[in-house]
Structure 1
Amino acid sequence: MVTETWDVLVIGGGGAGLAAAIEARELGRSVLLMEKNRSLGGSTAWAVGSISASVTPHQIRKGIRDCPRDHFLDMAKLSGNLAARDNDELRAVFCEDLPDTFRWLLDKGIRFFGPLGETPQSRPRLHAALPNSTAYIYQLERHARRSGVVIHYNSKVNELMIEEGRVTGVRVSDNQGYHEVRARGGIVLATGDFTNSPSLKIRFISDEAAKIEALNRTATGDGQIMGMRVGARVVNGDLALGPEMRFPPPARPGFLTRLPPYRALAGALAWAMNRLPLPLLRPFIMSSLTTALAPSAHLFEEGALLVSSDGSAVKGPVERIPYTIVQQPGGQAFIILDGTLAKKFSAWPHHISTAPGIGYAYLPDYRRNRRDICRKADSIEELARICGMAPAILRATIESDDAGANRRILRTGPYFALGPVRSFFVHAEGGLAVTPRLEVLGPDDHPIPGLFAAGSAGQGGLLLSGYGHHLGWAFTSGRRAGRNAAFAVTDAAREAQQEPETC
């Protein structure tokens, strides 16, 4: 069995893992980052890309006076009636560290547009990464490699090793087979959430939730599972964003999402977005906005009809619709609009979808950028044939008395179908209980020596409601966990250090 030894091990190559690896390496430690997939990214790669932070250079340039304390208070407002379940200690650490984390990201070559406001936050704090969220992984991976972080892909960590009460290494399966990797210092779990783990969703949410997939299919709660095996516990495991309806991502990404995340290009985009008229920028922005986003609830409030793949109505309470969609043929549904609704949802304030810090998308935007999910026909029967539905069933659904207001509204051509839409979990709030140093807590609420967690795996009961906080926590907690994992290398271990075997 091949055994490697490093100062710090980081498990997971999303935003939190890369931040942890970079920080540990910059303290002079040897660092191995293990990613189970063929490429880095994690849930960070699925993000819209906004970060909410205070005291940023962008705020200062615009004369916006802000502070971490106000951000701390505003986060409580965003949590609403769940505020009592928040981890105030972690929230304070998070808000205090965010300004420095934002500047750290700037230093690593990531450029932002903003800030923009979000109700009920008292200051504009949303900053959108340019040209898109791939900039985070692109720039951080480059920096990690240049600083000497070693990255192993297709490396699935299966188990934590404990010796004399301390986590000392992991057992991993990769291209070399099954072997051990040891750490002189700390091990950082940065493996994301458990939105695509049926067993954890059954345990913490419900049996129904287990039947619904995640946007990030590799978010299988590996860190939570390994942590619980050594006595850690999951906090707020029952809280999740989802399930919710989402449009599927396009087979061919839009123009903005295909742009390479180079620093010079991002800088040029930042200049343009701050100075050029919105009509000139709108086509570029919309190519990013009309991706895997949720359709607005206002569509259905105004009379749009949700139908299954055969044309029959998808009914039920609003909060149950995502569960109902899963039970439909193919696990999908379509949104039907007539000419009157189409005209209404072509301009403010009736948008089809929105992305924080970027803008609003209307029906013409979907017709231009998402022809794969936006179909038009002059009659109900023609629309049904285009979508593969039974024309008689779709007409009967639209004209049915129990279709309510939709029966009165959907009578004017042309007709439109948006979809299919599917149900997804976006992210789960359940992370391992941690200290402010991101040390994982054991069954007696004492830190498990040598074990740290960051990002969703180390959320520790912190509530991240509102836009831009999950990404902010990923980088902020990753940096803090990486530093403390580096400090966990003992003096004796440092004296005995040898070059790691890299195979």
Structure 2
Amino acid sequence: MFKGDRVLGGMPGQNKAARTQQDPEVIVVGGGGSGLFAAIEAAEMGRRVLVLEKNPVPGGTTNWAIGSLSSSMSPMQVAIGVHDTPEAHYEDMAKFHGNLLARDNPDLRKVFVENVPATLKKLLDMGVVFFGPMPEPPHRVPRMHNILPNSRAYAHALYRRARQLGVDVRFSHRACRLIRERERVVGVEVEADGSQKRFFALRGVVLAGGDFSANREMKREYAGDVIAQADALVKTSTGDAIQLGLDVGGEIVNGDLMSGPQLRFVPPRTNLMTMLPPSRFLALTMRWAMATLPQPVIRPFIMMFLTTVLEPQRKLYESGAILINRDGARFTDECDKPQLAVPQQKGKEAYIILDDRLAKAFSAWPNYISTAPGVAYAYLPDYRRNRKDIYHSARSLSGLASKIGVSPPTLEVTIADYNRNPRPGCAGLLEPPFIALGPVRSWLLTEGGLRISASMEVLSKSGQVIPGLYAAGATGQGGIILEGHGHHLGWAFTSGRLAGRAAALQEKS
């Protein structure tokens, strides 16, 4: 136990006297991917490191990611003869941004692409296994590396490495205030075990507590009432670390930008993807199978993963499928941001309705239900086989309504009304059996984070460095745009690594 583990007490002016040379040198708020990487980097430089995580387990949002990481100059690229550079990656990232390019921070993008190759190498050194690299236009070369067996392997490897280095990780410790002396951040107050405690950092504090997607008030303030109704992918992403930065003079950049909302199927109660142990042996076996075995052999196994996390594609609605609510009524134009309308419905849920004609069309290429870029496509039979909990079929509309718990007369009227005026180019929903997929819910991640420098220092509204304070991951996403697969995780890990190093190099206070 660090001597900094003391029950809160005393006057603010006594903070300095209460500190000792046995306090941690670096404190990291957040035990997700970015926080653990920050802790590892500082510990590898010989610093005493304390991680404060409000959840009972490590990983945070990283545990729920699809798991891809995009990087240039990887050993896997070299192995297949791909020549790639950070400069090319920098240029290609901008191609994803569209009209958001003007809101990107080119300095942070440059720092990211120059340092993510070293991040990927460190993950490989920790035993993380990737499949790929896979192509994703407009990347000019394959850069997307997909983790195996699932995204929990990141936290497993990072937490193990942190513990090997002697990092003190405290779970169920919620940071509630930063401690300052003469404008410099020197520590953190936390709530734990029903009491308040103070921890002091001799060098610096890194904020890496994730985004604010589960904080309805912050979403409403920065993005409006409609966005505020959408659910968070991770319910504990309440923006605590971001609020700590705001309380000492920081500001949020791009607070109105969201990743999503996305309509996704509700997760299964028993999720094989998260049940599999994140072992290296299993990951290597999966990589060998994906590279070696015929698709008909390996495909059913891959589908058990893909159908747990992916979203239905827009083409399904363009081809004539419709959304209904818990009452059995159609409530929106499915091709005009339905993800914003679903949270307004009863239970914040909806069902996708198809007929047999659409079912046959979406059973083979090119009409897939969902995709994980570079890995595989999921068709309707894949959902019928692997997601029986969200696949419902009946010969009649009344029978289908009974299976999903909506009003049979209402559903029959809804379909009749739609068939009289179907989507242009579509035949309507006419041919039994009828199918309902769902429920689907609207999920989002927020893209706004604290304004930071290229050295991961938190900046004030006037652009001045807040001494002793650093930010990483979604908490420190202050201006960088991360469109395209593999950039969010890449930024989380890379910014965490850089923030941990910067804090470790800070002079002792």
- TM-score of Structure 1 vs Structure 2, range by shorter chain: over 0.9
Partner of 2:160: 142
Provide, for residues 336-380 of structure 1, a one-character-per-residue CA deviation record: whole Å limited to 9, x for no partner: 110010001111111111123321111111111111111111111
Between the aligned partners of 1:451 and 1:114, the Cα distance in structure 2 is 36
Provide, for residues 230-285 of structure 1, a one-character-per-residue CA deviation record: whole Å limited to 9, x for no partner: 1111111111112221111110013x442211112212222222222222211121
Is 1:213 equivalent to 2:218 in the alignment?
no
| Alignment counterpart, residue 335 of structure 2, candidates 293, 318, 327 | 318
Q: Is the CA contact 2:175–2:241 (under 8 Å) kept in the aligned structure 1?
A: no
Spell out the pairing of 1:24-423 with structure 2 (5 A cutoff).
24-175=42-193, 177-254=195-272, 256-316=273-333, 318-401=335-418, 404-405=421-422, 408-423=427-442
Between the aligned partners of 2:395 and 2:333, the Cα distance in structure 1 is 29
Q: How many pairs are equivalent?
A: 489
Other structure's SS at 1:273 match: helix
**Residue identity in the other structure for 1:149:** V
CA drift of 1:224 comes to 1.5
Between the aligned partners of 1:474 and 1:200, the Cα distance in structure 2 is 21
Q: Is the CA contact 2:204–2:506 (under 8 Å) kept in the aligned structure 1?
A: yes
Range moving further from structure 2, 205-214 or 105-114: 205-214
Partner of 2:466: 448
Other structure's SS at 2:250 match: coil
Change (3 A) 1:51 1:401: closer
Q: Is the CA contact 1:314–1:321 (under 8 Å) kept in the aligned structure 2?
A: no
Change (3 A) 1:362 1:53: same
**Residue identity in the other structure for 2:267:** P
**Residue identity in the other structure for 1:357:** G
Is 1:2 equivalent to 2:21 in the alignment?
no
Percent identical = 49
Provide, for residues 435-465 of structure 1, a one-character-per-residue CA deviation record: whole Å limited to 9, x for no partner: 1110101233121111000001111200000
**Residue identity in the other structure for 2:129:** R
CA drift of 1:116 comes to 0.8
What TM-score do the two structures reach when normalised by structure 2? 0.93
Other structure's SS at 2:108 match: helix
Between the aligned partners of 1:67 and 1:280, the Cα distance in structure 2 is 36
Q: Is the CA contact 1:7–1:489 (under 8 Å) kept in the aligned structure 2?
A: no
Between the aligned partners of 1:432 and 1:118, the Cα distance in structure 2 is 29
Other structure's SS at 2:43 match: helix
Between the aligned partners of 1:338 and 1:160, the Cα distance in structure 2 is 57
Between the aligned partners of 1:243 and 1:402, the Cα distance in structure 2 is 29
Provide, for residues 284-304 of structure 1, a one-character-per-residue CA deviation record: whole Å limited to 9, x for no partner: 211110113221111100000
Partner of 2:443: 424
**Residue identity in the other structure for 1:417:** A
Range moving further from structure 2, 269-278 or 237-246: 269-278
**Residue identity in the other structure for 1:281:** I
Other structure's SS at 2:475 match: helix
**Residue identity in the other structure for 1:244:** Q
Between the aligned partners of 2:290 and 2:164, the Cα distance in structure 1 is 31
Q: Is the CA contact 1:233–1:441 (under 8 Å) kept in the aligned structure 2?
A: yes
Between the aligned partners of 2:263 and 2:420, the Cα distance in structure 1 is 20
Q: Is the CA contact 1:340–1:409 (under 8 Å) kept in the aligned structure 2?
A: no
Between the aligned partners of 2:192 and 2:221, the Cα distance in structure 1 is 29
Partner of 2:497: 479
**Residue identity in the other structure for 1:131:** P
Partner of 1:496: none
CA drift of 1:73 comes to 0.5
CA drift of 1:176 comes to 6.1
Alignment root-mean-square deviation, CA: 1.5
Other structure's SS at 1:421 match: strand
CA drift of 1:317 comes to 6.7
Change (3 A) 1:258 1:358: farther
**Residue identity in the other structure for 1:259:** L
Provide, for residues 33-75 of structure 1, a one-character-per-residue CA deviation record: whole Å limited to 9, x for no partner: 0110111111111100001111111111111111111110010
CA drift of 1:25 comes to 0.6
Q: Is the CA contact 1:50–1:356 (under 8 Å) kept in the aligned structure 2?
A: no
What TM-score do the two structures reach when normalised by structure 1? 0.94
Range moving further from structure 2, 203-212 or 177-186: 203-212
Between the aligned partners of 2:387 and 2:499, the Cα distance in structure 1 is 41
Other structure's SS at 1:372 match: coil
Change (3 A) 1:317 1:352: closer
Between the aligned partners of 1:316 and 1:362, the Cα distance in structure 2 is 23
Q: Is the CA contact 2:144–2:486 (under 8 Å) kept in the aligned structure 1?
A: yes
Other structure's SS at 2:118 match: helix
Residue ranges of structure 1 left out of the alignment (5+ in a row):
494-503
Between the aligned partners of 2:387 and 2:117, the Cα distance in structure 1 is 37
